[in-house]
Amino acid sequence: MTYVIADSGSTKTQWCVVSDGKEEMYHTTGINPVYLSESEIVGLLEREFAGRPRQVGRVWFYGAGCAFPEKNEFVRRALCRCFGTAEAEVMTDLEGAARALCGCNPGIVCILGTGSNSCYYDGEMIRENVSPLGFILGDEGSGAVLGKKLLADVLKGVAPGEVKQLFFQETGLTYAELMDRIYGRPLANRFLATFTTFLSAHIDMPYIEGLVSGSFDEFIRRNILQYKMAQQLPVSFTGSVACVFRPQLERLLLQNGLQPGRFMPAPMQGLITYHRDRS
């Protein structure tokens, strides 16, 4: 049987087509039903995944924004239409992260990428979840929030002069261009998250290390420490931001009496193992 596993964030989607034990990987733009309609999802797949299999046995789709039944339903319909199957299961990216990082073991599971999220997973299902609230009200520690903090400090003159000079020199962006990208165009969260590259390149600068560590400390205090089981279970992470800044995260976890667990840049390999073991 041919089946498909998808791991979708706000920025990109990774697809794995498994057929006769062979795995093939594909990538498309992120599919988030908060921002995309059913017809837009179909159009995206037709444009960016033209070589997809048209008759598959089952699709498992783990995605950002897939926490609302009505939105999950139109993602499911789009997947069934595009892959020629009646068996498509749509779940949150957090459920995908939990299965990938923990398998059938309990743990605290965190996503730090363009956005952020966390949960207590009991080995079978998510039992507790502190609402992430998005990059305006929450998403502490995410790429979008790190970028927002950096950009606000640079434009308000709070960042040191050396940092401000490096920022404009390396990004090549003007004040007007930045304002247009944030307020005049869609998907500002993705744009803000691109500045994590600048932050990681200059993490040895005290201001930048402080900004990054401060945002991760907020993530720990406002999310992880709210779980009753947090100090009894490993705290595992997936997402590019978590892996790029792993030393800062591990240090802060230990300072808060927490046990660092597994770190995965992306959950796909863990999901392949999870579904292979159950097929």
Mean pLDDT by 10 residues, the chain (279 residues): 87 89 91 89 93 90 89 94 92 94 95 92 94 86 96 95 96 92 88 95 97 97 96 95 96 96 93 83
Residue 36: partners with Cβ closer than 8 Å, 6 or more residues away: 44
| Letter string b/e over residues 185-195, b meaning 16 or more CB atoms within 10 A of that residue's CB | eebbbbbbbeb
pLDDT of residue 215: 96
Q: Give the C-alpha separation, 87 to 186, whole Å.
A: 32
Q: Give the C-alpha separation, 154 to 163, whole Å.
A: 8
Same fold for the domain at 3-96+268-276 and the one at 137-212? no
**Which residue, 96, 121, 95, 97, is CA-closest to 107?**
121
Q: What is the model's pTM?
A: 0.84
Show the 3-state SS of 153-177.
HHHHCCCCHHHHHHHHHHHCCCHHH
Q: Which helix (H) or strand (E) holds 237?
A: strand 234-238
Structure tokens at 146: 């790190």
pLDDT of residue 134: 80
Give the amino acid at 191. F
Residue 161: partners with Cβ closer than 8 Å, 6 or more residues away: none
pLDDT of residue 279: 65
Q: What does the angle CA 19 – CA 25 – CA 26 come to, to the nearest 5 degrees?
A: 120
> Beta-strand (E) ranges in 10-141?
12-19, 22-29, 58-63, 88-92, 107-112, 116-121, 126-128
pLDDT of residue 67: 85
Residue 141: partners with Cβ closer than 8 Å, 6 or more residues away: 112, 116, 215, 216, 218, 219, 241
Q: Give the C-alpha separation, 178 to 172, whole Å.
A: 10
Residue 145 near residue 135 (C-beta atoms within 8 A) = yes
Give the amino acid at 210. G
Q: Give the C-alpha separation, 123 to 108, whole Å.
A: 10
CATH number of 137-212: 1.10.720.160
49 DSSP assignment: -
- The domain segmentation of the chain, as residue ranges, is 3-96+268-276, 137-212
CATH number of 3-96+268-276: 3.30.420.40
Structure tokens at 240: 């590019």
